[in-house]
Amino acid sequence: MTIVRHTAAVIIAILVLAGCASSEVTAYQPYQGKLVRPERIVVYDFAATTSDLPAGYPISGPGLAAAQPAAEQLALGRKLGAKIAGDLVADLQSFGLPAVRAAGQPALALNDVAVVGYFATLDAGSATERVALGFGAGAADLQTVVNGFVMTAQGVRPLGSGTVAAGSGKTPGGAVPLVVAVATANPLGLAVSGAAKAYGEASGSETIEGAADRTAQDIAAKLKLTAERQGWI
């Protein structure tokens, strides 16, 4: 019994690690010149559609299409866009940076920095498919493009850009516990994948909201490095 429990525990650990949700920053192009410390870092809600993008900024990046998403997806995108902006502002403020939400703010002043982003891909996925099929089926997918700008005497100037790809993990589906049960000669194996899956769902890491959390954290981490390099913090 001890061996069986130990084996099951090891398998649970392996499945949880294999199914861990992750995020990755790609196409990151930070500004290399010297910047004056801004009075404000203005963070706009991340856009779910081109009509949500603020005017006056030369936005560039992949997946920038004019197609209007379905109403449900648009509502989800706007909810996530506001969440990422709020989380990002809170993170930047915790670093000692003068970050503010764009809503209600006056126009950029000289040396102010703006953060503008949009969702190139937004797919909430299917929890049912993730549990039943596993290994990426029904996985949440959130790809976010971020652009930075600074206000100069000549107007708004691009600072840099990057893409954050965040999604849920590839947790094994219902077929795997049956194999585990045979291998361990114990029905305890039937609970292995369920435990791994329950961990991801309960922690929120396997959801689109979890992907949004990781997106905000990744952007904040990159901006912190830039601020440190500039001597702002």
Q: pTM for this one?
A: 0.70
pLDDT tops 50 at residue 63: yes
pLDDT tops 80 at residue 124: no
pLDDT of residue 31: 65
- Mean pLDDT score of the chain: 75
CA–CA gap between residue 102 and residue 122 (Å, rounded) = 23
Contact 179, 32 (CB under 8 A): no
pLDDT tops 60 at residue 83: yes
Residues 6+ apart with CB under 8 A from 36: 111
Residue 59: how many CB atoms within 10 A of its CB?
Answer: 17
The dihedrals phi and psi of 92, each to the nearest 5 degrees, come to -65, -40
pLDDT of residue 56: 94
pLDDT of residue 95: 98
Beta strands in 32-136 (DSSP E): 41-43, 99-101, 113-123
Q: What is the pLDDT of residues 177-223, one digit of tens each?
A: 433 333 344 433 333 333 433 434 444 546 889 999 999 999 999 99
- Say whether domain 23-169+205-230 belongs to CATH 3.40.50: yes
Q: What is the pLDDT of residues 125-160, one digit of tens each?
A: 644 443 433 444 456 789 999 999 999 999 999 998
First to last CA, the chain: 55
